Structure 1
Amino acid sequence: MNTPDLWPAPVATGPLEAVVAVPGSKSLTNRALPLAALASAPTTIRGALHSRDADLMIGALRSLGAGVEVSDNGTTVRVVPQPLRAGAPIDCGLAGTVMRFVPPLAALADGPVLLDGDPGARLRPMGPVLRAIAALGVPVTGPDDAADGSGDVPGFLPVVVHGAGRVRGGEIEVDASTSSQFVSGLLLAAPRFEAGLTLHHVGEVLPSQPHIDMTIAVLRDRGVDVDDVAPGKWRVEPGEISGGDVVIEPDLSNAGPFLAAALAAGGRVSVPHWPSSTTQPGALLPEFLTRLGGSVTLADGTLTVAGSGVVQPADLDLTAAGELAPTIAALLALAPGESRLTGIAHLRGHETDRLAALVTEITRLGGHAEELPDGLLIRGGALHGAEVATYHDHRMATFAAIVGLAVPGVEIENVGTTAKTLPDFPSMWQRMLGED
């Protein structure tokens, strides 16, 4: 790789004994923010995640006319809703929640809204949500196409959503096989559609169901009437979205690498403020880590994972929690034996093609991995040090850090990409190891 921007992954010199407090959930933060912009009164969001993804969402809402004030530490955000307007181009960065959640809001703006992002963002699928908006009567075009919507609806960024200040709503179909975010983005804006929205998923699979459950829960918490009684079908009634105070849970998926460290290095890692009930996919971590040989306890709101430093191979279905795949794959790359991860074909359309990236980097580290139609086959053990690429993907950086706990000589290219959801990751990782 021959790049000077390399971070030597710290090696654990003994069993861990650490307590790691993780910041707020990205998924909940980036759902609370657009709802606050559509609310009927100001909203104060406490415990918000301060990260690039959240900053991009805040920037998008400001471009659409919302008033947003952020505390000095970035964890308290006050949003004052205003009529949505066309304004400056919106930078989606590489944030899937911004790419997929903001276009339905832009459909409610009073004029054309241009959305673009990082080069990698232009490779991430957008077609389902853009076609849904067009089906609701709002033209969606490429930047240089006619504004009458007579051409084909684009499938990728950059795009222009030609808002007219209103969306009639109604009944539409969407294929969310490649991302549940297509469903969530439409549901979040639906209360402001004149007729609400009835949405049918028509694809063969629906990944990350917990993220859709999360969207429904935050809508209901803000007083929205949502009917989800039929699988793959949702009805959102038109109406007001309440303001007030919103408290964000810790990000359980971001807790994953720290908890996995107990298995990779041995010892114990605890995460406080673990919710007793949650819609976050990270809630499945205790089950998965137990399958891999860890011991998990939850007492007084603190989740503790203990491990021996030896990981057991396993076959796991990650359909409901695909974002955990890089964390689990890191552990399986250390586990002697053959393992399979399934239910994650949609990861090919994430920040990078995560399946291809994991195969490449596990191979680079001396392991064996193969792509399956919907996942990975991994034969772990006997790894060696290497320069690991991150592909501008925060979870590929944390994947490499987990491996580096047990394998000397792992160097991570652009560990700063973790700022997407965890800006202080390198320091938090070193503190977990007792380093200054």
Structure 2
Amino acid sequence: MPNALPPAYTITPPNRPLSGRVSPPGSKSITNRALLLAALAEGTSRLTGALKSKDTVLMARALRNMGVTVEEPDATSFLVTSTGRLAAPSAPLFLGNAGTATRFLTAAVATIDGTVIVDGDEDMRLRPIRPLVDALNALGIDAQSPTGCPPVTIVGTGRFGSGRVEIDASLSSQYVSALLMAAPFGDGPIEVALKGKDIGARGYVDLTLAAMRAFGAQIESRDDGSWLVQPTGYKATDFHIEPDASAATYLWGIEALTGGTIDLGVPTDAFTQPDAAAQAVIAQFPDMPAVIDGSQMQDAVPTIAVVAAFNNRPVRFVGITNLRVKETDRIRAVANELNRIRPGLAVEEGDDLIVHSDPALSGQVLPARIETYHDHRIAMSFALAGLRVGGVTILDPACTGKTYPDYWDMLKALGVELTPAT
């Protein structure tokens, strides 16, 4: 983890192309899936290419609290040793604002014979989890969430039920992934089916299925909206984690806004994560499409929206309703902060976001103190605005530690001047 950061950074536009080689951190989404699956597998699994950040540290800590040995032999590896079963922790599991860890563990701890409380910080306590709780109840599991958000109390019996369970995944695909990863501990086969066809970024379910199969699960995709999981448990394995595509979006944004070339060390088509689709959109800058559907690359939307501020034509972002229930309401946050740079630069229209692009912003000095709402993606995205506009100050830069602890060091290494501010 990096040294303590100042309360704010003011960015000086480099006024030149930024080029170099940058290795993005490992995928947060895949790291937290792999950590959990390794903890549910009997034996020792070696995870390489992993992300060490606030979210994955919280997941690893929770697993240790449930009797799993999680060693860290180097900066990008975990060595996970488990009996194949989790044990009831002695205290509630605190998971900060880590959505993946909170949702995944809410289902996984239902395999424990005992009572477990899954909780988070004040922001996580505003993020919905009711659809997952309802699905667990349908499997005969005693799970309660009085507010529909964490904390969740699960009274497990060591069994995970069987049969067909339907889940509303319109708010988050993480509910589906959580059920799927716990399903190999069913008393018999479990069919996980969507209630309706709406689902948050579906590509993340594909990530889940690929990771589960790597750890020995047997899953049959029955149609576009259901999966049959056999009660196989998991087998320990060595698993390599690819770089984080969401982190790569900032690097693609830097290329577009400065005219530089950044070697990520991995071709775009090697990414299996949904946010990799952002590269093709950003590459069209300054003539990005007038309408961009962000439904399948949700974490990339703030990046693309900031780049869109300098596009040659306005951009409307659609399919992004789920951004309202992320670490913060990202639709509102992006609109608010773009409007700090220049009033009227963005507007919310229902659940769409319209960016009134203005290439003439480039080169201007427009002092703006960007509020980040404890949200790593708002901080990292709006740092890109400072590559073209003078006077941009990012508050609470340390929040990037959630997924990209070395973000600011990366910018400095590329030649961006960051001045500590208060």
Matched residues in 2 for 1:252 and 1:119: separation? 28
CA distance in 2, matches of 1:345, 1:339: 16
- The alpha-carbon deviation at position 184 of structure 1 amounts to 0.5
| 1: CA distance, partners of 2:131 / 2:198 | 14
Alpha-carbon distance change, 157 to 421 in structure 1, aligned in 2, over 3 angstroms: same
Residues 1:337 and 2:340 aligned together? no
Partner residue in 2 for 1:297: none
Which aligned segments of 4 or more residues in structure 1 are displaced greater than 6 angstroms?
A: none
TM-score computed with the length of structure 1 as normaliser: 0.89
The structure 1 residue matched to 2:175, chosen from 171, 177, 182, is: 182
Say if 2:106 and 2:152, in contact at 8 Å, map to a contact too. no
Separation (CA, whole Å) in 2 of partners of 1:77 and 1:224: 21
The match for 1:62 is 64
Counterpart of 1:267?
A: 260
Q: CA deviation at 1:275?
A: 6.2
Does the CA-based 8 Å contact 1:291-1:314 persist in structure 2? no
Question: What do the CA deviations read for 1:356-414 (whole angstroms, capped 9, x no partner)?
Answer: 11111111110422223443111022542300011111100011101010000000010
Question: 1:420 — aligned with what?
Answer: 402
**In 2, distance between residues paired with 1:203 and 1:369?**
32
- Secondary structure of the residue that 2:261 maps to in structure 1? strand
What is the number of residues matched between the two proteins? 405
2:355 to 363, 368, 378: 378
The counterpart of 2:346, out of the listed 356, 363, 369, is 369
Give 5+ residue unaligned stretches, structure 1. 143-152, 294-310
Helix, strand or coil at the partner of 2:222: coil
The answer for the alignment partner of 2:297 in structure 1 is 321
Higher relative contact order structure (alpha carbons within 8 Å, sequence separation ≥ 6): 2
Q: Which digits, 9 at most, give the CA deviation of each residue in 1:156-204, with x for residues without a partner?
A: 1112111112212321111010111000111111111222321111145
The residue type paired with residue 37 of structure 2 is L
In 2, distance between residues paired with 1:261 and 1:26? 21
- Residue in 2 aligned with 1:404? 386
Please tell me the residue identity of whatever aligns with 1:11. Answer: P
- Deviations 1:233-257 (CA, angstroms, capped at 9, x unpaired): 1111110312121111111110111
Matched, 1:257 2:233: no
Counterpart contact for 2:11–2:416, Cα < 8 Å: no
Provide the rounded CA distance (Å) in 1 between the counterparts of 2:37 and 2:54: 19
In structure 2, give the amino acid aligned to 1:280.
Q
Q: Deviations over 1:74-102 (max 9, x none)?
A: x1111111332211211111111011100
Shift of residue 434, structure 1, vs aligned partner: 6.1
Give the conservation status (yes or no) of the 8 Å contact 1:260–1:331: yes
The 8 Å contact of residues 132 and 167 in structure 2, kept in 1 or not, is answered as yes
Q: Distance in 2 between matches of 1:106 and 1:220?
A: 20
Instruction: Give how far 1:22 is off.
Output: 0.9
Sequence identity percentage: 38
* TM-score with structure 2 setting the length: 0.92
Paired position in structure 1 for 2:81 = 80
Q: Tell me the residue number matched to 1:206.
A: 199
Q: Distance in 1 between matches of 2:227 and 2:351?
A: 26
One-letter amino acid of the structure 2 residue matched with residue 281 of structure 1: P
Aligned twin of 1:118: 121
User: Hey, what does 2:99 align to over in structure 1?
Assistant: 96
Paired AA for residue 114 in structure 2: G
- Give, in whole Å, the separation in 2 of the partners of 1:155 and 1:337: 41
- SS for the counterpart of 2:381 is helix
CA RMSD of aligned residues (A): 1.8
Q: 1:229 to 1:372 in 2, by over 3 A?
A: farther
Q: Separation in 1 of the partners of 2:398 and 2:173?
A: 27
Counterpart residue number, 2:3? none
For 1:129-179, what per-residue CA distance to the aligned partner results, in whole angstroms no more than 9, with x for missing partners? 11111211121225xxxxxxxxxx641111211111221232111101011
Query: For residues 207 and 352 of structure 2, what CA distance do their matches in structure 1 show?
Result: 24
Report which stretch shifted further, 25-34 or 9-18: 9-18
CA–CA distance in 2 between the matches of 1:196 and 1:390?
44
Given that 1:313 and 1:335 are in contact with CA atoms closer than 8 Å, whether structure 2 keeps it comes out as: no
Alignment of 1:3-402 (within 5 A): 5-73=7-75, 75-82=76-83, 83-87=85-89, 88-142=91-145, 154-203=147-196, 205-274=198-267, 276-293=269-286, 312=288, 314-366=290-342, 367-381=344-358, 382-383=360-361, 384-402=366-384
Judging changes above 3 Å, is the alpha-carbon distance between structure 1 residues 312 and 104 closer, same or farther for their aligned structure 2 residues? Answer: closer
| Equivalent residue, structure 2, for 1:300 | none
- In the superposition, relative to structure 1, how do residues 418 and 378 fare at CA in structure 2: closer, same or farther (>3 Å)? same
**3-state SS of 1:40 partner:** strand
Distance 1:196 1:256 in 2: 39
**Deviation at 1:313?**
5.6
- Residues 273/322 of structure 1: CA separation in 2 closer, same or farther (3 Å cut): same
Residues 63 and 89, structure 1, Cα contact 8 Å, conserved in 2: no
CA distance in 1, matches of 2:173, 2:120: 20
CA shift at 1:312, angstroms?
4.4
CA contact (8 A) 1:69 1:79 kept: yes
Cα 1:154–1:197 change in 2 (3 A) is: farther
- Give the CA deviation at 1:270: 2.0
Q: Deviations over 1:41-90 (max 9, x none)?
A: 211101110100100110111122211111242x1111111332211211
SS of 1:100's equivalent?
helix
In structure 2, what is the Cα distance between the partners aligned to 1:62 and 1:196? 29
Query: 1:10 touches 1:430 (CA, 8 Å); kept in 2?
Result: no
* Most deviating of 52-61 and 283-292: 283-292
Q: SS at 1:356's partner residue?
A: helix
Contact 1:64 / 1:106 at 8 angstroms: preserved in 2? no
SS in structure 2 opposite 1:42? strand
By how many angstroms is 1:27 displaced? Answer: 0.8
Structure 2: tracts of 5 or more residues without a match: 1-5
Which AA in structure 1 matches 2:228? R
The 1:20–1:216 alpha-carbon spacing in structure 2 relative to 1, beyond 3 Å, is same
CA apart distance, 1:231: 1.0
2-side partners of 1:274 and 1:27: how far apart?
19
Provide, for residues 255-300 of structure 1, a one-character-per-residue CA deviation record: whole Å limited to 9, x for no partner.
111111111122222211236444201321331123324xxxxxxx
Q: Deviations over 1:309-352 (max 9, x none)?
A: xx646321121111100100010112243111111111100000
